[in-house]
Structure 1
Amino acid sequence: MDPKHSICDNSMDGTFVSHIERQPSTPSVIVIGGGISGISAARTLCDASFKVVLLESRNRLGGRVHTDYSFGFPVDMGASWLHGVCNENSLAPLIRALGLTLYRTSGDNSVLYDHDLESYALFDMNGCQVPQQLVIEVGDIFVRILKETEKVRDEHSDDMSVLQAISIVLERHPDLRQEGLAYEVLQWYICRMEAWFAVDADMISLKNWDQELVLSGGHGLMVQGYNPVIKALAKDLDIRLNHRVTKIAHQCNRVIITVENGRNFVADAAIITVPLGVLKANLIEFEPELPEWKVTAISDLGVGIENKIALCFDTVFWPNVELLGTVAPTTYTCGYFLNLHKATGHPVLVYMAAGRFAYDMEKLSDEAAADFAMLQLEKILPNATKPIRYLVSRWGTDPDSLGSYSYDMVGKPVDLYERLQAPVDNLFFAGEAVSMDHPGSVHGAYSSGILASQDCLRCILQQHGNLDLFHLASKAENKEAAIPLRISRI
């Protein structure tokens, strides 16, 4: 049997099995947003014999998962990692079935979150490589500093930023303070932490920064990009691209969705998977308005920015490491390049920018942004050649995203994810920001779409008086589980 066909018939992860007899009026759902959460929701509903229409504002699917092919090969300009290379990851069955390869960039306990210490080379602002022993020593100190921030958190009932907690720790423990080059290396570690959250350390909540449920197996780059996953999930769905939703009206067990050209779509319910940044900007009118508890949840959760500048070269002139970094006196002026050649064989370096720095980068033209990245590269590799092509992401100002992924702001309530996930009448919500255990991740967004579709199924079938037709079967033995994930760099 064709693997893609079997995946489509078994609702992706094998956990949801139902047989719905068609009613005189087939239950209908509109899914708003064609990112991976919206596609997974639509896939689950379609497989349950519901009538489903997916509305996507862009001219492509994937949302913040975007594999670009303009270099002649895949380059992910949005999400590119699978965080948790293990069978417990909800996307693992699909990745296995598609035969996709992961390049593991870190183990479970990497201080750099998605890269191991031995996988990179750091340079100072003068282009001199930082001794690896110094990098390892400062890395150990950084771990100790973060451990001490837990004590600061326990001592204070009020929340504070991670940066403020680090300052308290260094004030208490002068032996952990760094000077000179070691201080710049410490700033680089903090810079990498900021990249994980897509926001500066003075914006990250001390109370919540380490509360995410991180799966085992380390982190792996999608060697062929994420597009094959999106394509497989979207097969045979009724998808309407270039349909920007402007209004959502819900009443009397039905929803009326209005798109930009004034056309209306009517269904029993809707699943809303648009990015948190779009909801925060109030670009969609709700009638009646969303309740206050939902509005404040949307307002109180933050949205960070991480951007990429992908540089394609005609020859490889850089060392065979996964990551090239520049240390500096401030996290804002630190930087790093991801070496895709080591993972994929393609001659591409990707300059990464997060937080305020990423926001400022979006003020530049694509050409100016690529020139800036090249200036940073030439500082550490004076013999660098000019790129033959480049790509620049702008997730912060993209009207269809208005940010990269969510983060916990300082001093906000702890129940935000629960409130974001909770339905409002026959409106259901999904997306990375709705994932309580895995926010900011592709598999978190994927799982949230499935959960929202299951809640929607229950609600509609109850309205139709056919709740007995809905059942969650016990997890069938996954025959694919014996097939290992395809992983390089073990």
Structure 2
Amino acid sequence: MAHQSLANPVETAIPANSGALRVSRRRFAAAAAFGAPALLRQPVGAAGERVVVIGAGIAGIAAAVDLQTAGLDVVVLEARNRSGGRIWTDHRWGFPIDLGASWIHGSAPANPIWRLCRDLGLRTVRTDWDDLVVYDVDGRLLSPSQSSTDAARYRSAYRKARRWGNRQLVDTSLQDGIDFAVRTRTFSPYDQRALDFRLNFEVEQDYGEDAASLSNWWYDQDSWLGGRQDSYLVDGYGQLVENLAKNLDIRLSTVVSSVAYGAFGVRVSTNRGVQQAAYAVVSVPLGVLKANRITFSPALTRAKRGAIARLGVGTLNKLYLGFGERFWDDREAIGFQSASRGEWSLWMDLEHILGEPILMALNAATFGKALESYSNQDTLDAAMTVLRTIYGRSIPDPQAAQITRWSQDDYSLGSYSHIPLGATGRDYRILSTPSADRLFWAGEATNRKYPQTVAGAYLSGQRAAQQILELV
């Protein structure tokens, strides 16, 4: 990779306009600019079969493509200065780094994202999550037999936790079930670290939330689309967005503040005026809906407001470290059994994918969110302390770094949805229900079968488009 100055290795890697990466957060004004009165008086008939899509993530883009292909007049409003939403491929190092979505979950034709990537000739590399080496808190490498024993103990506790939960008259957290499963065991500090590592690796990394908050009944009600094989997009997810969106009318830096809907159609108020149409597709992330960043008139139904309130938004953040040379294990994943669950517990080797000596740390749930309050330098220092515990004090400093802070990102306010205590899988379906046949909903949090995934978001956009096409 091109060597970068070590004077401030993290700061120099962070784009000036990158809200998700900056320590000094940019705050965007979201006040409505109501536009000319003449526009507000325009009858819906003049808008005809016009559709406003709110959000240029993969769900909004999928909806817009299908609607435009069917002959409708479509405009996409995007608050960011780029398309893609939580898909964000950065090229500042001279090769692609995915700051948001990285994997295709389900590498088979049943997955539409897999099919699209095949059709477009996008390169993928399959991820072997079993190609894992684990280190304890003191840097001791676990033997394969020890690691296998720890994994088997975790699986046994996990099965007991789920069986216990299913017997309860009310929902409990997954952590409640785990605590019950191991209640009669004498746990050494090592045993606790090993259990915590596995629970974070197997569950919390996937759902972006602590086991103590996840519903034991419902948290994993989602389905697999195209099998359980994950694949990494070598050249970045951004290529897919660019190909799908190339013929769309996307208005960037357009922040939606309110949406009015009724017999007249829809009126979408933004910082750049008002858009009027017959229908709107709302594809903003769940975190934005939970924060009430968009006002709806009339108010959304009690059922929909309840679903938004009950569903949770998790956190998964990445730290990319670029080095001059490789010093780590020749394995796809490196685990670290930290003193506190989930702290720098998972590292991915990207050299075999990108051909460059890069490590990626994945931090999820409580620690992933807490890490967002660290300064760039403190984040880097904490990461390097762990790497030097594992590989020795003589390893080099990184030459560049990229940090994400998705829970602080104004236009996502989190990474992806999950089902906490008090919610059920039905809440995804409630959120997906059209509002007065004027507002149609898309995004991963509106797909009950495939939430948390790019494929789920894409399919939800196609569903919203089809719902509109059935009315015109």
Matched with 1:90 is: 112
Which 10-residue stretch deviates more, 65-74 or 211-220? 211-220
Q: Does the CA contact (< 8 Å) of 1:191 and 1:334 recur in 2?
A: no
Q: CA RMSD in A?
A: 1.6
Q: Does the CA contact (< 8 Å) of 2:257 and 2:293 recur in 1?
A: yes
Q: Measure, in 1, the Cα distance between the counterparts of 2:58 and 2:425.
A: 26
Does structure 1 residue 353 correspond to structure 2 residue 368? no
* Runs (5+) with no aligned partner, structure 1: 1-22, 107-114, 462-490
User: How far has the Cα of 1:407 moved from its partner?
Assistant: 0.4
Matched with 1:19 is: none
| Alignment counterpart, residue 183 of structure 1, candidates 181, 186, 192 | 192
Amino acid at match of 1:162: L
Matched with 2:406 is: 395
Q: Does the CA contact (< 8 Å) of 1:332 and 1:357 recur in 2?
A: yes
Deviations 1:236-260 (A, max 9, x none): 1000000010010112141111112
- What TM-score do you get using the length of structure 2 for normalisation? 0.87
Matched with 1:225 is: 236
| Alignment counterpart, residue 245 of structure 1, candidates 236, 256, 260 | 256
Amino acid at match of 2:133: A
Q: Measure, in 2, the Cα distance between the counterparts of 1:431 and 1:403.
A: 14
Amino acid at match of 1:167: D
User: How far has the Cα of 1:367 moved from its partner?
Assistant: 2.9
| Alignment counterpart, residue 420 of structure 1, candidates 408, 431, 442 | 431
User: How far has the Cα of 1:342 moved from its partner?
Assistant: 2.0
**Where do 1:394-473 residues align within 5 Å?**
394-425=405-436, 426-459=438-471, 461=472
- 1:95–1:219 CA distance, 2 compared to 1 (3 A): same
Amino acid at match of 1:336: L
Matched with 1:235 is: 246
**Where do 1:24-173 residues align within 5 Å?**
26-106=48-128, 115-116=129-130, 119-171=131-183
Matched with 2:282 is: 272
Which 10-residue stretch deviates more, 251-260 or 325-334? 325-334
| Alignment counterpart, residue 328 of structure 2, candidates 298, 318, 324 | 318
Q: Does the CA contact (< 8 Å) of 2:310 and 2:422 recur in 1?
A: no
Matched with 2:391 is: 381
Q: Measure, in 1, the Cα distance between the counterparts of 2:113 and 2:211.
A: 30
- What TM-score do you get using the length of structure 1 for normalisation? 0.84
Does structure 1 residue 204 correspond to structure 2 residue 206? no
User: How far has the Cα of 1:54 moved from its partner?
Assistant: 0.3
User: How far has the Cα of 1:351 moved from its partner?
Assistant: 1.2
Q: Measure, in 1, the Cα distance between the counterparts of 2:380 and 2:66.
A: 41
Matched with 1:484 is: none
Q: Measure, in 1, the Cα distance between the counterparts of 2:224 and 2:424.
A: 21
Q: Does the CA contact (< 8 Å) of 2:174 and 2:213 recur in 1?
A: yes
Q: Does the CA contact (< 8 Å) of 1:396 and 1:403 recur in 2?
A: yes
Q: Measure, in 2, the Cα distance between the counterparts of 1:236 and 1:355.
A: 37
Matched with 2:36 is: none
Deviations 1:208-236 (A, max 9, x none): 12321023141111111101110111011
Q: Measure, in 1, the Cα distance between the counterparts of 2:344 and 2:191.
A: 13
Q: Does the CA contact (< 8 Å) of 1:163 and 1:202 recur in 2?
A: yes
Deviations 1:94-140 (A, max 9, x none): 1101112222113xxxxxxxx12xx1211122212111211111112
User: How far has the Cα of 1:440 moved from its partner?
Assistant: 0.4
User: How far has the Cα of 1:25 moved from its partner?
Assistant: 6.7
Does structure 1 residue 258 correspond to structure 2 residue 280? no
Secondary structure, in 3 states, of the residue corresponding to 1:201?
Answer: coil
Q: Measure, in 2, the Cα distance between the counterparts of 1:90 and 1:238.
A: 23
Q: Does the CA contact (< 8 Å) of 2:218 and 2:424 recur in 1?
A: no
Matched with 1:17 is: none
Q: Measure, in 2, the Cα distance between the counterparts of 1:72 and 1:334.
A: 26
Q: Does the CA contact (< 8 Å) of 1:80 and 1:226 recur in 2?
A: yes
Which 10-residue stretch deviates more, 285-294 or 233-242? 285-294
Q: Does the CA contact (< 8 Å) of 1:310 and 1:349 recur in 2?
A: yes
Q: Does the CA contact (< 8 Å) of 2:48 and 2:277 recur in 1?
A: no
Q: Measure, in 1, the Cα distance between the counterparts of 2:120 and 2:228.
A: 20
Q: Does the CA contact (< 8 Å) of 1:188 and 1:334 recur in 2?
A: no
Runs of 4+ in 1 over 4 A off after TM superposition: 23-26
* Runs (5+) with no aligned partner, structure 2: 1-44
Give identity over the alignment, percent: 34
